[in-house]
A = this chain, B = another copy of it.
């Protein structure tokens, strides 16, 4: 696939209107960067692994736009999505006397995107930033829609801002260097769009899961485009998650508890979400909202994607405590994104006993992601 086959999805929110560009080889193509602000300074935020692969090409591609392009590299992984890491960006920006027109480029996966976005949202109360996601998960989910955040020891993404990027550039060629485990993690966030919004897309994923895992560029292009279209539609209606947007969190209430409970980084975010979706579907079935056959079908697809379907064993109180700090909780009541029927989702509470029964049925003593 060449850049002639560029696909564009438009995101339109009160906080900003911007393009998601999807295609192979976009990073090196000068046309990709046309129209972005021309400024004195730009800073690429990345991690050492991604920077070694794509840092130089990106710096060369954006050089015509800026007098000075510098880089700051952060340690990789969810465990480093902290204030201390974020502060390295601020130190760099201030040491170079970067002004408030400085453009930040987030080159990497979800962790880099979330942290760069939050740095952009808060440096001098806001500078422009561009998302250049290099993982499947970031291309189909985290780089789109303006959620930025860092973690707190007591909860994931607890400190952050809604802040839209100036552009999102999804270069499918970067997925070629992705480890299989990370590709699978990305599939979780693609699968989720089926049960919450589009069961025809779910059918398509079932038919193409092998092609996706093999890195077939045509299949990936469609999966990224359709995921971004659905996310753009949802975020366009509800940028700040006063209602609808919460459905994008399908599988995330259980998932966040797994991630936080096992220590950030033990499970990849996508792995925890994959398993979390199975639990959320099972809870929907317990409440009579979907047939048991749907849970089995989802479980098979999650498994076929190379993702765990069994949660780790944790004490009941620990599960409940971890889920109670979820951002969707209200007045102490945990709220789940439940499916009713397949293709539609809503936010609901459920009795603790029922939730724990589902967890017990879907836990295995050895963490599946290990």
A330, B162: Cβ atoms under 8 Å? no
Query: Number of A residues contacting the other chain (C-beta, 8 Å)?
Result: 36
- Say whether A49 faces chain B, with CB atoms less than 8 Å apart: no
- A residues lining the B interface (CB < 8 Å): 40, 83, 87, 90-91, 94-95, 97, 99-101, 121-126, 147, 149, 152, 154-155, 158-162, 240-241, 324-325, 327, 329-332
- Complex Cα spacing A330 to B327, Å: 38
Q: What is the minimal beta-carbon distance from A317 to any residue of chain B, in angstroms? A: 14
Q: Which 8 A-B pairs have the closest CB atoms?
A: A94-B154, A40-B331, A124-B327, A125-B160, A122-B159, A99-B330, A97-B324, A99-B329
Q: Contact between B90 and A124 (Cβ–Cβ < 8 Å)? A: no
User: Chain B residue with minimal CB distance to A332?
Assistant: B97
Q: Which of A95, A97, A160, A329 has the most CB of B within 10 A?
A: A97
Chain A interface helix/strand/loop/mixed: mixed
Q: Is the CB of A99 within 8 A of B158?
A: no
Tell which of A40, A87, A99, A325 has the most Cβ of chain B within 10 Å: A99
Look across to chain B and name the residue whose beta carbon is closest to the beta carbon of A147: B125
CB distance from A120 to the nearest CB of B (A): 11
What are 28 A-B pairs with beta-carbon distances under 8 A? A40-B330, A40-B331, A40-B332, A83-B83, A83-B87, A90-B152, A90-B159, A94-B155, A97-B329, A99-B327, A99-B329, A99-B330, A101-B331, A122-B122, A122-B159, A122-B160, A123-B158, A123-B159, A124-B158, A124-B327, A125-B147, A125-B149, A125-B240, A125-B241, A125-B327, A126-B161, A126-B240, A161-B161
Q: Report B-chain residues with C-beta under 8 Å of the C-beta of A152.
A: 90, 94
Interface centre among A125, A147, A324 (most CB of B within 10 A): A125
Q: Pick the residue among B94, B126, B154, B329 that contacts A162 (CB under 8 A).
A: B126
How far does the alpha carbon of A324 sit from the alpha carbon of B98 in the complex, in Å?
A: 9
Min distance, Cβ A34 to any Cβ of chain B, angstroms: 22
Q: How far is the CA of A314 from the CA of B33 in the complex (A)?
A: 44
**How far is it, in angstroms, between the C-alpha of A324 and the C-alpha of B123 when the chains are bound?**
15
Least Cβ–Cβ distance between A16 and chain B, in angstroms: 12
Residue of B nearest to A123 (CB): B159
